[in-house]
Structure formats: structure tokens, C-alpha cells
Amino acid sequence: MTQELNDGLPAREAALTLIDAALSRRGGLDEAASANGFRFLEPRERAFARALAMAVLRHLGPIDRALTARLQKAPPDRVMHLLRLGAAQAFYLEVPAFAAVATSVELAGANKTSRPFKGLVNAVLRGLLRDAPPTDDPSLLAPPWLYARWVSAFGEATAREIAGQIAIEPATDLSAKPGADLTSLIAALEAEALPGGTLRLRRKGDVAAWPGFEDGGWWVQDAAAAVPARLLDVQSGQSVLDLCAAPGGKTLQLAAAGAQVVALDRSAARLKRLSENLTRTRLTAEIVAADAGAWDDERTFDAILLDAPCSATGTFRRHPDVLWAARPGDVASLAGVQARILDAAADRLKPGGRLVYCVCSLEPEEGEAQVEAFLARRKDMALEPITAAEAPSAGFPQASLTPRGTLRLLPHHRDDGQDGFFAARFRKVTA
């Protein structure tokens, strides 16, 4: 093997670790990417390893279908990951076929589990790469059980539109701090301005090195994720509770609007990132590490934003691993958690106050069904319909507005995509 190929082996080995973490549910891809073995790679190697892992995860269904046709029985996990990695390199990352095969065989021989399968890896990949790339049939891009749920909820045509977004690498969205020089920022970042104020760009590399980062002029936030905080329409000086706040994009939006924000999350580690972003953007909020459903504090608030724990199936554009880590039972168990926190949020709302409930999930049990169950048991809460007139300022596509006055933000509703979200707005009334 040439020295050039050997130079890429650490990144490919790291990619195997990321793929295994994503598919085995042992902490997930993000946790693996923050581990010492990954962080000690050179920046270029880290970027390559992540790109390799993402290519596998975005195309896992078609890759596995093509591989399974050439395998008599399933090999050990490491061997299967090597085959996936080799296929993804050649088919989706434009790595020369000889390099994709050679590096996979070399990695197979470097581990006692996969060493006996060097011949298999070589033969399967050589045979596979003589064929045309697998077709990215949308129905194959998501796990079968999940795709079937989307067909049931939205119909076959919409399910295919949703799933088709899995294979597409997303742009990066930013929320600009009010008062920032947008004209200069757009020019410096080569960004596109979206409705509502989100900036969308195709820039790659270290976000911290981008123009305006050190000055605190913006933060990373998907266009769909920025919508729920705008729906609260908070006024300067109002008291706002941001429940399940980390990593903090919505907290920054609320603080930037002049609200007195309490940002609560059960994860102290994730709140550290929020605190860092508050410091960088020169915004302020009270940070509380506590369980949203059992917080021991008597205060009530003018407005509450609840971005509830959920299956996160709507975040697959940037986190395709969520699709393969999710299990059918997750949705039902999380729905119970969401209902508990919704009730706790309603109890903390002042009369006449607004509550926005949202989840980055595509599953109706976590969205539409929660709304109806909540209204049925809480006579002190009324749905405040979201209107089409709010679309330009809140930044949501008209296609995402439901007849009920809630938002079902689907990934294909926006040109170039967006995260999948559900959002509903309530007002506290006299019971």
C-alpha cells in the first residue's frame, strides 16, 4: 500500500468507531466524536473521519441492501462496518475504488476480529464496486419501521419526500444577534437570508473561525429550530422560562429579545455550552440544572418555551444516526415524559401567559396527539392558533401550517431542507 493510503488509515479507523457508536447505541456518534481517541486526530483527519461516518449513515439502507445480496450470512460487526465504509468511500465520496478496497482490507488485517475476513472484505468490495452505485430509493434510506410510520402519518408521497432528505448534506443555518450588521455579515459569510432572519450558508470548516463568531454576532441554529421562540413574541422585560434549554439556541433568541430568561435543563454538562454561548454573545440568562418536571421553585412566568425531550427523528439531516438508534418503543415512552413536563410548564405560567410546546420529532404521538391530550385534561389552557400572517416574521413555510393552527415543519417544506419540528402555542385562561 502506498504511503498516501497509509496516511488515511487513522481517520478511517476513527470513522469505524463513530459508525459503531452510532449503530450500537453505546453513547452515540456525538459522544464518540468527543472521546480522546477522536479528538487527538489532526483537524483534517477528524473532518475526514466524520465525513466518512456521515456518508455511511446517510446511505446505510441502500448500502446494506447491496452488501446483503453478496453475503451468505452476516459477518461480525467490525467486518460489516468495514464493508459499509468501503462502499461509502467509492460510491459517495469519490475515493478511487482501489483505495476504498485497499484501505478496508488493510484495516481488516489490523484487528484480530476482522483479520480472518480480509479475503471476504476484498472479494465483496471488488465485486460490489464493479456495479453501479446503489439507488438512493427514499424508501430504503430510513429504517423500515420508521418509514412505515411516516407513510401512515403523512402518506406515501410525503414519506418519500421526507426520506429523500436523509441522503442530502445540509447547509449550515445561523441566527444573527439583533443589531448585527446583516449586510456585512451576509457578505462576509457568503450567506443567504431566509424569512425570519435565519442566515443559510454552505461554508465548511471550523465554525469558530468564521466571521462574526468571536464578536458574538450569531449562533448556529437550524431554520426550523429558530421558529418556536419567535412564536412566543416576547417583549422586553418579560419573564420567560426556557425548559429543556440546552444547547441553548432558543435561550439566546429569547435573551436577545430583551426577556428575563431562566434557562433550565437537567444536563449540567450541556448547560456549560449554553453558558459559553451566552458569554460569547454578551447575553444574559439565569441557568438552572434541574428536572423540568420536578423543579423546586415557586416562580411563575409571562411566557414559557418547552422544547421537550423527544425521539429527535426530525434532526436526521445533521444527525442521521438518530434514525438507526431509535426503537419503536421510544416514541411511546417519551410521550409520557412530554405530557408530564407539559403539565409542569402550564402550572408555572401566569394567567394570560403564552406557552409554546415543540419537539424536533416527526412522530404524531409527540406532536398532534400531545396537543389534543393536553387540551382535554387542562381546561385552564387554550390553543392559540398560529396564523399564516405570522409566516414572514416567524420564518416558517406556509406549507408547514396545519388547519388546527399548529406547525408541522417537515424537512422538505423549505428549499434546501430544514429540520423536522412540531410546534403549538397555548394561552392560559380562567379554568
Residues identified as active-site: 360
> CA nearest 359: which of 347, 341, 382?
341
222: left (phi over 0), alpha (psi -120 to 50) or beta: beta
> Residues with Cβ < 8 Å from 115, sequence gap 6 or more?
108, 109
- Alpha-helical (H) ranges within 169-286 are 182-189, 227-232, 249-256, 268-281
**What is the DSSP track for 319-371?**
-THHHHH--HHHHHHHHHHHHHHHHHHHHTEEEEEEEEEEES---GGGTHHHH
Residue type, 248: G
Q: Give dist(CA 314, CA 322) in Å, integer.
A: 9
Place of cell 446583516: 182
Distance CA 228, CA 27 (A): 28
Which cell goes with 164? 429523500
Q: Using DSSP, how many helices (H) and how many strands (E) does the chain show?
A: 20, 12
In the block, cell 419540528 appears at 421
**Could you give the 3-state DSSP secondary structure of residue 242?**
strand
Per the listing, cell 401512515 goes with: 152
Q: Hunting for cell 430544514 — which residue is that?
A: 418
Cβ neighbours of residue 355 closer than 8 Å, sequence gap 6 or more: 303, 304, 305, 306, 345, 346, 349, 381, 425, 426, 427, 428
What are the backbone angles phi and psi of residue 298, rounded to the nearest 5°?
A: -90, -5
Instruction: Let me know: does 87 contact 125? Beta carbons within 8 Å.
Output: yes
Task: Give the whole-angstrom CA distance, residue 332 versus residue 310.
Answer: 10
Looking up cell 456525538, which residue turns up? 30
Please identify which residue in the block is written with the cell numbers 455579515.
185
Pairing, β 421-428 against β 349-359: antiparallel
